[in-house]
A and B are shown apart, each in its own frame.
Chain A
Amino acid sequence: MTDEAHPRSAFGAPPQGGAASGPAKPVPRRPLGVQQSLGPVLTVLGALGVVWYAAATWLNAPQVIERVLSDRPGWGLADLLPLTWSMERPVLPAPHQIALDMWRSTVDWPLNSPRSLLFHTGVTAASTLLGFVMGTLLGLGLAVAIVHSRTLDRSLFPWIIASQTVPVLAIAPIVIVALGSMGFTGVFPKSVIAMYLCFFPVTVAMVKGLRSPGVMELELMHTYAASASHTFWKLRVPASLPFLFPSLRVGIAAALVGAIVAELPTGAQAGLGARLLTGSYYGNTVQIWSALVMAALLGLVLTGAVAAADKWLTPGGRK
């Protein structure tokens, strides 16, 4: 589980417990330096940009021709290109339009204005982080309880594994409505949704991690006359750290999805999800795209922070 690019833990997919899926198969690791892959990545991104501009022209051309160019006989490609890349409400906005919109909506407005994109990002980030902290604590607590109680292990753990096959995100509207009827609104209901998306991967990985010490190590602790709490803190916890951080990465990405989706069903006033929703109501495509890019950046920053914490905290320094 030390591989950062481990396919089993990527993509919001929980690192699956042994009972529900096949065994962890070793993934052949190709050591890639940053320098080695920088060129190819830039090439791929560059190609993507070219394709994007071409697609913007192709998708927006019909509207441009119909509205602007139809009464201008003898127009050519040189007239068409700039027009398709600067439409008010394009089918597909060009990348520079999105960048410009993001720049304007972050710089031109004060941070507490609902027209500032950073304001909405902050709202979503707040409920993501609160949900992440609650979910991690809940996940850790459950994992410790499951490792120490045979009853919970046999009766509760199978349900936690099985629930990974179920679209738990569908409960989001219920949580919003139920907590709303109890008088909770704002950040808290959203972070509850982020929490319950986040705790599954943490629990499953930590149960695995706390159990990872073998019979040899456990017996060694036994010969030292170590108490249960000593075995836990000196052996199980350090052994579980390599399992913890990949699951936290999955967990924080899941928490972000939860926070964004939680902003949809109630027509929330603030947050990136609300921004996506209002954009889709008013057909403001540039706003949708800039909210989407912002959500992507937020995801990268949050998982990057977890990865940095991993480098800092894991003894021996994983590479």
Chain B
Amino acid sequence: MSLLGWALPGQPWRWAFFALLLVLTVLAVVSLRRLSALDPKGWQVRFATPLLFGFWVLLFWELLTQGYDVPKVLLPAPTVVWASLLQGAPTLLGDFQQTVLHSVLIGLALGSGLGFVVGVLIDRSPFLQRGLLPVAALASTVPLVGVAPIMVMWFGFDWHSKAAVVVVMTFFPMLVNTLAGLAASGHMERDLMRSYGAGYWRTLFSLRIPMALPFIFNALKINSTLALIGAIVAEFFGSPVSGLGFRISTEAARLNMGLVWAAIVVAAVAGSLLYAALEWVERRSTFWHPSIRMG
């Protein structure tokens, strides 16, 4: 169904288009109001309402961009994005491999691992904690993604430099959360461990790290978003001929907005999947925690 340009002045079907929009608006408002008035206990209702909202947004986006014949540079219709997604699938798959599988996952693992290890090490020294925590708090207010050009200079154009940016961005959140998590076990539990004759390492692995897991997963979830942002932005500074950030910046410069939007869809889906995977592992490994037990 093509509505291209129907709503433009002087078109014969103009009034029919407005009538259609009006009817659909009323339908959208009524359906959303009725659905959200339902009892939200069941998961079906909780998921159905935002999904319906998303459906209406997409529908209006499609109708308005087609009806007013909005230039694709400004905003391509969802169907145009979908077509570019299918058409550009092989390219985007390569970009996904470059950005997500290499830069993001490797950088995320290295940066978070480093933050965790340093956190465990300086947990034994109150002096270093007092010195490093304020520095880490300052680091949160600093646009760390700006290290990207330096990393590109040091580690070259390939994914190594992007992974390095991700390491820099993900280190401090993990450090702070590890320290907070290691302090989460109370004196009672620690005294109990001591009365069992457990040493530092035994207490660390049997009590303190499990107690720190909710904090660590919190940091991992924060870091998963930061890692994608870091990898994509670092690619704006120069990259080989693939990568989601590279695709977005070069195709935007060529005004090929369908493919740009398709790359953003891929990035969004990758981000959500990464987050969902972390959430799944968290539920599996911290099943004892009150927040998850209650469901």
Write the residues of chain A forming the contact surface with B, with a CB cutoff of 8 angstroms. 4-5, 7-8, 10-13, 16, 21-23, 25, 27-28, 30, 32, 36-37, 39-45, 91, 150-151, 153-156, 158-159, 162, 164-167, 169-171, 173-174, 176-178, 181-182, 249, 253, 256-257, 260-261, 264-265, 272-273, 276-277, 279-280, 283, 285, 288-289, 291-292, 295-296, 299-300, 302-303
Determine the chain A residues whose CB is within 8 A of the CB of B292 once the complex forms.
22
CB<8 Å pairs between A and B, sample of 21: A10-B176, A11-B139, A21-B218, A22-B218, A22-B289, A32-B133, A39-B131, A44-B128, A151-B32, A151-B33, A155-B52, A158-B49, A159-B50, A165-B221, A167-B229, A277-B149, A280-B238, A291-B146, A292-B147, A292-B150, A300-B142
Residue of B nearest to A289 (CB): B150
Rounded to whole angstroms, the CA-CA distance of A165 and B272 in the bound complex is 6
Rounded to whole angstroms, the CA-CA distance of A273 and B35 in the bound complex is 46
List CB contacts (< 8 Å) of B221-247 with chain A: 221-222, 224-226, 228-229, 232-233, 236-238, 244-245
Determine the chain A residues whose CB is within 8 A of the CB of B244 once the complex forms.
170
Rounded to whole angstroms, the CA-CA distance of A151 and B56 in the bound complex is 14
Interface of chain A: mostly helix, strand, loop or mixed: helix
B residues contacting the other copy or chain, number (CB 8 A): 88
B143 and A300 contact, CB distance less than 8 A: no
Rounded to whole angstroms, the CA-CA distance of A44 and B282 in the bound complex is 34
Given contacts A91-B154, A164-B225, A165-B224, contact A265 B253 (CB under 8 A): yes
Q: How far is the CB of A203 from chain B (nearest CB, A)?
A: 15
B40 and A25 contact, CB distance less than 8 A: no
A154 and B134 contact, CB distance less than 8 A: no
Determine the chain B residues whose CB is within 8 A of the CB of A7 once the complex forms.
173, 176-177, 180, 215, 218-219
B140 and A10 contact, CB distance less than 8 A: yes
Determine the chain B residues whose CB is within 8 A of the CB of A264 once the complex forms.
233, 236-237, 249
**4 extra interchain contacts, Cβ-Cβ under 8 A, other than A41-B131, A156-B53, A260-B145?**
A153-B36, A158-B49, A178-B74, A300-B138
Determine the chain A residues whose CB is within 8 A of the CB of B49 once the complex forms.
154-155, 158
Determine the chain B residues whose CB is within 8 A of the CB of A40 once the complex forms.
127-132
Determine the chain A residues whose CB is within 8 A of the CB of B147 once the complex forms.
292
A167 and B130 contact, CB distance less than 8 A: no
Given contacts A22-B289, A277-B149, contact A256 B130 (CB under 8 A): no
The digit string for B171-196, where 1 denotes a CB below 8 A from any CB of A, is 01100110010011000000000000
B131 and A173 contact, CB distance less than 8 A: no
Given contacts A21-B221, A44-B132, contact A167 B50 (CB under 8 A): no
B36 and A154 contact, CB distance less than 8 A: yes
Q: How far is the CB of A30 from chain B (nearest CB, A)?
A: 8
B215 and A166 contact, CB distance less than 8 A: no
Rounded to whole angstroms, the CA-CA distance of A44 and B133 in the bound complex is 10
Rounded to whole angstroms, the CA-CA distance of A253 and B140 in the bound complex is 8
B214 and A25 contact, CB distance less than 8 A: yes
Residue of A nearest to B173 (CB): A11
Question: Top 5 closest A-B pairs, CB basis?
Answer: A40-B131, A280-B149, A155-B53, A44-B131, A154-B36
Rounded to whole angstroms, the CA-CA distance of A162 and B252 in the bound complex is 25
Determine the chain B residues whose CB is within 8 A of the CB of A171 once the complex forms.
264
B260 within 8 A of A: yes
Determine the chain A residues whose CB is within 8 A of the CB of B130 once the complex forms.
32, 36-37, 40-41
